[in-house]
Chains A and B, each alone.
Chain A
Amino acid sequence: MTANQDTRDPIGLDTEGFSGFRVELARDMPMKLDSGETIGPFTAAYTTYGKLNGPKSNAVLVCHALTGDQYVSETHPKTGKPGWWEKMVGPGKTIDTDRYFIICVNVLGGCMGSSGPSELDPVQNVPWGLNFPAITIGDMVRAQALLLDSLGIENLFCVIGGSMGAMQVLEWATKFPNRVFSAIPIAGAARHSAQNIAFHEVGRQAIVADPEWHEGNYIQKNTKPKGGLSVARMAAHITYMSETALHIKFGRRLQVGDAVSVGSDDNFQVQSYLRHQGSTFVERFDANSYLRLTRAMDYFDIAAEYEGILANAFEGTPVRFCLISFTSDWLFPTEESRDIVRALNAVTANVSFVEINTDKGHDAFLLDEPEFRLTVSGFLDGAAEHRGLI
């Protein structure tokens, strides 16, 4: 059921200006999706850092967040900005590429090279658009598992990720417990809350209300729902920051002058900041992907398959867990992580849990938080010792 057809050697170094790899998966047999549909063959775009060791025991899967991608620790090909976790992943860094083989896959339904709404439907030979099937976190993880199969990697030393990445980590730990040695879900939850679904709905409605969306067929019309996607991003961006962070960064500071100009619609610095966030986002992200991936997060609810009892999802788990939350994160508050910790305690799983004190909000996992890095490196060291990697 797996495909070994790879466009290039996945593990060897290949640096002809092309960053990352693309592989076609599910060629022989389509992959079943949670929706009941199937997909296949499909493409997975991914990057790797470090070297896989002989026993293939040092693989770390990094799962990216909603608007992240596989460019973890290298210059982003579209934005030219550093990788989103360059502070964490690299030689001698917290996730040490001298010790671990790091893999990051653009999620199924994404828009950075993996099959998704903006890619060509190979059968129709037109962009998928909203004909791309509905995707769940479970589907993303099964796709990643197929990729690992194709790379000949049976076991992951660690699966780590924040936000939607944390959902994938939890999905890995519950669906493939025997392939995962340790798991680090950061700023995550076992299910998406009503409040978070509500915020997502605002973003989605902004996109579909944009006349340039064209019922999802904007690529054929050679346009983009920039306004709608930009508003979606702006609304979401507020949820990624804390009130304190916004206050410290902008307060009520004005763009020009020293008094509010009544009647102007462009007084405050925070306004131009948000607009900038929105306008740069639409250059790198696909609106239909945004619709598909936000829904995937909304569907997420681990306990649902276990009669609503979260602990049952972890029964007998051999996985070593380290949960991390941030004090000022109101999108995925600490209590969400604590619920998972309680469920893990109920089945006496091996679990660590740290709440990092920070005013940076949900985005803290992407920023420079020394205490956060110390937690991850300490946990990884402990796990590596038990795995015999050090």
Chain B
Amino acid sequence: MSIKLKGDKNIIPTDELKRRDLQIISNMVVAGSRVLDIGCGNGALLDYLGRNKSVDGRGIELSQSGVNACVANGLSVIQGDADTDLEHYPQDAFDYVVLTRTIQATKNPLEVVKSLVRIGRHAVVSFENFGHWRLRLKTLLTGRMPVVGDDGHSWYDTSNIRVCTIRDFATMCDELGLRVQRALSLSRSGSIRELISTGVIANVFGEEAIFLLTRN
């Protein structure tokens, strides 16, 4: 059974941010905290957090156009790569380290997640769920790799090179001995489920997941 969490004040989506995962994450972050957004794109989340929650935000972005847009907009963002540039940050440098829709594009997700929880007191990871029923069905019926996300990239040009399901990710967190503070799955219809209470259902009906992690 799915639990609608729309009444939960902590995760009321913010209309100002276009992406739903960012809407929810922006409400997980405590005002005035230090945030590192890895794969910050055009800086929408950092900009929002800076203006509305007095967050001291930094970003890392792989694409040159994204970095330039961020810095030209007054954000503190560096050109860098989640796979290679996280080792230089000290432990507990940030209150939150955010990695949205990027984990599946990294070469070594395991090391990246370890870095997130080392650098940040909290890590927030969002990713598209390849365990969603529609993707499972499509692969079953058409025999072709699923195409996910807004960009609709095919297997040969998608940036997702390490695809996973919500259960896969949860298992990895277990193996790393991480504490999952919150795990949400989002569906296209707008419902938000707590993974802890819905388990398998979340993995089937969630199109996207957000994990809030800490070291144990």
The residues of A that contact B56 with a CB separation of less than 8 Å are 350
Query: Shortest CB–CB separation between residue A182 and chain B, in angstroms?
Result: 11
Chain A residues with a Cβ closer than 8 Å to the other chain, count: 26
Contact A385 B71 (CB under 8 A): no
Contact B79 A382 (CB under 8 A): no
The residues of B that contact A377 with a CB separation of less than 8 Å are 72
Question: Does B143 sit at the interface, judged by CB under 8 A?
Answer: no
Interface residues of B in 65-104 (CB under 8 A from A): 67-68, 70-80, 85, 88-90, 93-94
Question: Quick one: given A353-B79, A355-B79, A382-B75, are A346 and B68 in contact (CB under 8 Å)?
Answer: no
Selected A-B contacts with CB under 8 Å, 23 pairs: A342-B85, A342-B88, A345-B88, A347-B90, A348-B89, A348-B90, A348-B94, A350-B58, A351-B58, A352-B76, A353-B80, A355-B67, A374-B68, A374-B72, A375-B71, A378-B71, A379-B71, A379-B72, A379-B74, A381-B74, A382-B76, A383-B74, A385-B74
Contact B76 A350 (CB under 8 A): yes
Contact with B along A320-356 (1 / 0, CB 8 A): 1010000000000000000001100111101111111
Contact with B along A355-390 (1 / 0, CB 8 A): 111000000000000010011011101110100000
The residues of B that contact A356 with a CB separation of less than 8 Å are 68
The residues of A that contact B90 with a CB separation of less than 8 Å are 346-348
The residues of A that contact B93 with a CB separation of less than 8 Å are 348
- 4 smallest beta-carbon distances between A and B, as pairs: A382-B74, A378-B72, A353-B78, A342-B88
Question: Does B197 sit at the interface, judged by CB under 8 A?
Answer: no
Instruction: Kindly list 9 other residue pairs between chains A and B, CB separation below 8 angstroms, not including A354-B79, A382-B76.
Output: A345-B78, A345-B85, A352-B77, A353-B78, A354-B64, A375-B68, A375-B72, A378-B71, A381-B74
Contact with A along B48-69 (1 / 0, CB 8 A): 0000000010100000100110
Alpha-carbon separation in the docked complex, A245 to B80 (Å): 27
The residues of B that contact A346 with a CB separation of less than 8 Å are 88-90
The residues of B that contact A354 with a CB separation of less than 8 Å are 64, 67-68, 71, 79
Alpha-carbon separation in the docked complex, A354 to B94 (Å): 22
Contact B71 A352 (CB under 8 A): yes
User: Across the A-B interface, how many residue pairs have beta carbons closer than 8 Å?
Assistant: 67
Alpha-carbon separation in the docked complex, A375 to B68 (Å): 6
The residues of B that contact A355 with a CB separation of less than 8 Å are 64, 67, 79
Which chain B residue lies CB-closest to A324?
A: B71
Chain B residues with a Cβ closer than 8 Å to the other chain, count: 23
The residues of B that contact A357 with a CB separation of less than 8 Å are 64
Query: Shortest CB–CB separation between residue B144 and chain A, in angstroms?
Result: 36
Interface residues of A in 70-112 (CB under 8 A from B): none
Alpha-carbon separation in the docked complex, A377 to B71 (Å): 9
Alpha-carbon separation in the docked complex, A351 to B58 (Å): 8
Taking each of A353, A374, A383, which has the highest tally of chain B beta carbons within 10 Å of its own beta carbon?
A: A353
Which chain A residue lies CB-closest to B72?
A: A378
The residues of B that contact A382 with a CB separation of less than 8 Å are 73-76
The residues of A that contact B80 with a CB separation of less than 8 Å are 341, 353
Interface residues of B in 88-125 (CB under 8 A from A): 88-90, 93-94
Which chain B residue lies CB-closest to A378?
A: B72
The residues of A that contact B68 with a CB separation of less than 8 Å are 354, 356, 371, 374-375
The residues of A that contact B34 with a CB separation of less than 8 Å are 348
Contact A322 B88 (CB under 8 A): no
The residues of A that contact B73 with a CB separation of less than 8 Å are 378, 382
Which chain B residue lies CB-closest to A377?
A: B72
